[in-house]
Homo-oligomer: A and B are copies of this chain.
């Protein structure tokens, strides 16, 4: 086929040339992204070769292109207005203290409404511009050149479509326009959400419960995936028997479903925890688990996809392929982790060794670019960008944050907070929309009911046995009420959706997608709405009296000044331990928590404190004192002058433990508090007792944060280690 034949140019040729031109705007934020963001410069091109063809035809062409451009703007405006409406309603709800419906649930409802309108309210435009079919002889190319009246048009490959769908391609213009490319979720919307989760991780409570969190996230997700996968395989067999299954559905598909649906996202529950100042350790367990199991679920699902038995087309068990999948899992996970950590460390070094903090704008821009480059670096190396971004966020919060100027700290937090907020609400409103606008739904009642049962059983089989084993090792046990709450908080959200929508090509995947969507709806609405009753039913303590509106406003102003966000970090309540330990206050056991989990962290913390923090930040002991003598020169180079200079208030504000110079006993902030059940009665005093600082109450944390400018006098010793988390 050579270009050569020529025919007349219809005036309609550019009618659909710029259909997605304006969707480019979507890219303004990681918020709205079109399915085919392809921009044809055809309007320009047509203007340029105007001489050859009729100018009147050009005019008509341009008008049609403009019309299409306008339609795009309108469809985008729909999304923006949807988000605006969500924001206003959220405000109303927050203002009126309505807690039964979270903003994400609200976004879904508005999305549903708009979806219904788009589906049934807009006329189908399939009639007049059905796509043309062109038969290709030999192979598939990415680019096609088409010759029309001597002009050449370039076409790019969009993807394969199944033969049955040929007639439904471009069925409804409006529906097509509001359908985004699935990769958008993975590459644009999830990274800011995940990064923000890592960046705003409350480090103290996270690290204190790290062992449990890791167990829940890794073992728990694997168990959950395996159980759900097997149960669903049973359901699929049942469907085959009753004749409800019209296409193939393999065991690996079931496992894949188990992986994607194991990613919990208790955003609704956590928001209520925040608002009610619920127990911080329970919060840390839930938040930590949900953050990490997102990462596990991504890697797990791609490992399952990578499972390729040696004997083709059997889908039978193959040990070699299985171990290869396990290897892929470990490889991708550790690789992504390394990428994230390395970029974080590089950013920390750059911000430490330059005086960039004099220019907060530059600092913020650098921080943003470096964090973004993690994603690209991981993807370039074949790892998972989203996972890398998570660990990058944690590293940035742990090291880089301490090197940033006060302004940059609040800037970076606020920037990612806004991105996270917009991206999250966009995903949820898109979910609502997708229920009606997505054109490949496969509703299978048996599969859906089976899935609900399976996720319930999967979560139960994951929480209770694991908690039992964890409690064997934990000093303060995870109580039954906590276990029930964790069981209850198994919501599914953005990650499950993004993983499910990523591939909806086959029948099995379409069924999974539809089911996932319904599970997300159900869990966000029902479980989200039931959190407050459940908390009181389970007898889980919430904050000592709600702050009044004035208090809130006052605190917000205070928080603002130090870059602490009330939405991210409720002041910890000291009565959390009592609940952790059982049903009532037990002050005798309060002091036992001192050494809790120390076996896991002692090594890491001493390494982190003695080497990593001094190298990467302006805090910690000088390297000249911690490194062996023969490293003296290196140590002097790497140690920040501020470390020696006691006059300068240390920049580090996120240590998680007390460390005395003599012995490396690790104690935790809250643990030295007498568990008297009221966090409001602590005096904001810093007692220096023989080189050991006992800083305990959250009030004091806030107090010290506010007095940041004039705390020189309070930092007398070299090894001062504040206790609060500043996130």
Please tell me which stretch of A27-35, A226-234, A482-490, A671-679 contacts chain B, meaning at least 4 of its Cβ atoms lie within 8 angstroms of it. Answer: A27-35
Min CB distance A44 to B, Å, is: 4
Contact yes or no, B143 A148, CB < 8 A: no
Q: Is A588 an interface residue (CB 8 A)?
A: no
Contact yes or no, B417 A74, CB < 8 A: no
Contact yes or no, A382 B70, CB < 8 A: yes
Q: Is A438 an interface residue (CB 8 A)?
A: no
Partner of A355, one of B17, B66, B95: B95
Q: Is A47 an interface residue (CB 8 A)?
A: yes
Question: Which chain B residues border A54 with CB–CB below 8 Å?
Answer: 312
Q: Contacts A2-B133, A305-B47, A505-B45 known; A38 to B81 CB distance under 8 Å? A: no
Q: Is A335 an interface residue (CB 8 A)?
A: no
Q: Contacts A81-B373, A359-B94 known; A154 to B161 CB distance under 8 Å? A: yes
Find the B residue at minimum CB distance from A165: B152
Find the B residue at minimum CB distance from A58: B308
Contact yes or no, A7 B368, CB < 8 A: no
Contact yes or no, B132 A143, CB < 8 A: yes
Q: Contacts A10-B138, A88-B354, A415-B415 known; A38 to B41 CB distance under 8 Å? A: no
Q: Is A379 an interface residue (CB 8 A)?
A: yes
Contact yes or no, B373 A22, CB < 8 A: no
Q: Is A431 an interface residue (CB 8 A)?
A: no
Contact yes or no, B156 A158, CB < 8 A: yes
Question: Which chain B residues border A313 with CB–CB below 8 Å?
Answer: 51, 55
Question: Which chain B residues border A375 with CB–CB below 8 Å?
Answer: 25
Contact yes or no, B131 A150, CB < 8 A: no
Please tell me which stretch of A113-121, A181-189, A529-537 contacts chain B, meaning at least 4 of its Cβ atoms lie within 8 angstroms of it. Answer: A181-189
Partner of A39, one of B19, B76, B88, B183: B183
Contact yes or no, A2 B131, CB < 8 A: no
Cα of A553 to Cα of B55 in the assembled complex, Å: 61
Q: Contacts A157-B42, A368-B422, A380-B77 known; A137 to B5 CB distance under 8 Å? A: yes
Find the B residue at minimum CB distance from A145: B133
Q: Mark A182-199, 1 if CB is under 8 A from B, else 0.
A: 111001100110000000
Contact yes or no, A142 B76, CB < 8 A: no
Instruction: Count copies of this chain in the complex.
Output: 2
Cα of A224 to Cα of B381 in the assembled complex, Å: 52
Find the B residue at minimum CB distance from A136: B146
Q: Contacts A24-B183, A361-B567, A556-B360 known; A163 to B144 CB distance under 8 Å? A: no
Cα of A461 to Cα of B29 in the assembled complex, Å: 42
Contact yes or no, B160 A42, CB < 8 A: yes
Question: Which chain B residues border A154 with CB–CB below 8 Å?
Answer: 131, 157-161, 169
Q: Mark A229-243, 1 if CB is under 8 A from B, else 0.
A: 000000000000000
Partner of A13, one of B95, B140, B183: B140
Partner of A160, one of B24, B153, B169, B361: B153
Cα of A532 to Cα of B87 in the assembled complex, Å: 48
Please tell me which stretch of A262-270, A283-291, A406-414, A683-691 contacts chain B, meaning at least 4 of its Cβ atoms lie within 8 angstroms of it. Answer: A406-414
Question: Which chain B residues border A380 with CB–CB below 8 Å?
Answer: 70, 73-74, 77
Q: Is A561 an interface residue (CB 8 A)?
A: yes
Q: Contacts A135-B147, A406-B557, A415-B418 known; A91 to B368 CB distance under 8 Å? A: no
**Most chain B CB within a 10 A radius of its CB, from A28, A133, A158, A503:** A28
Q: Is A21 an interface residue (CB 8 A)?
A: yes
Contact yes or no, A46 B160, CB < 8 A: yes
Min CB distance A221 to B, Å, is: 23
Contact yes or no, A55 B308, CB < 8 A: yes
Question: Which chain B residues border A411 with CB–CB below 8 Å?
Answer: 414, 418
CB interface residues, A 560-616, toward B, < 8 Å:
560-561, 567
Contact yes or no, B365 A70, CB < 8 A: no
Contact yes or no, A142 B17, CB < 8 A: yes
CB interface residues, A 48-74, toward B, < 8 Å:
48-49, 51, 54-56, 59, 66, 69-70, 73-74
Question: Which chain B residues border A26 with CB–CB below 8 Å?
Answer: 27
Q: Is A215 an interface residue (CB 8 A)?
A: no
Q: Is A707 an interface residue (CB 8 A)?
A: no
Contact yes or no, A24 B138, CB < 8 A: no
Cα of A313 to Cα of B187 in the assembled complex, Å: 47
Contact yes or no, B7 A138, CB < 8 A: yes
Contact yes or no, A51 B549, CB < 8 A: no
Q: Contacts A21-B183, A147-B133, A418-B364 known; A41 to B138 CB distance under 8 Å? A: no
Q: Contacts A55-B312, A135-B4 known; A145 to B129 CB distance under 8 Å? A: no
Min CB distance A289 to B, Å, is: 25
Q: Is A706 an interface residue (CB 8 A)?
A: no
Question: Which chain B residues border A630 with CB–CB below 8 Å?
Answer: none
Q: Is A491 an interface residue (CB 8 A)?
A: no
Question: Which chain B residues border A184 with CB–CB below 8 Å?
Answer: 24, 27, 39
Taking A73-B377, A143-B158 as known contacts, 4 extra A-B pairs with beta carbons closer than 8 A to each other, sorted by chain A number, are A4-B135, A91-B354, A145-B169, A414-B414
28 cross-chain CB contacts under 8 A:
A1-B135, A3-B134, A5-B137, A7-B139, A16-B157, A25-B191, A27-B30, A27-B184, A28-B30, A37-B38, A45-B159, A55-B308, A55-B313, A73-B379, A95-B358, A131-B144, A131-B145, A138-B148, A140-B146, A144-B155, A151-B163, A152-B162, A154-B157, A154-B158, A155-B156, A155-B158, A365-B422, A406-B560
Task: Give the 6 A-B CB pairs with smallest separation, nearest first.
Answer: A27-B27, A37-B37, A48-B505, A73-B380, A131-B143, A16-B142
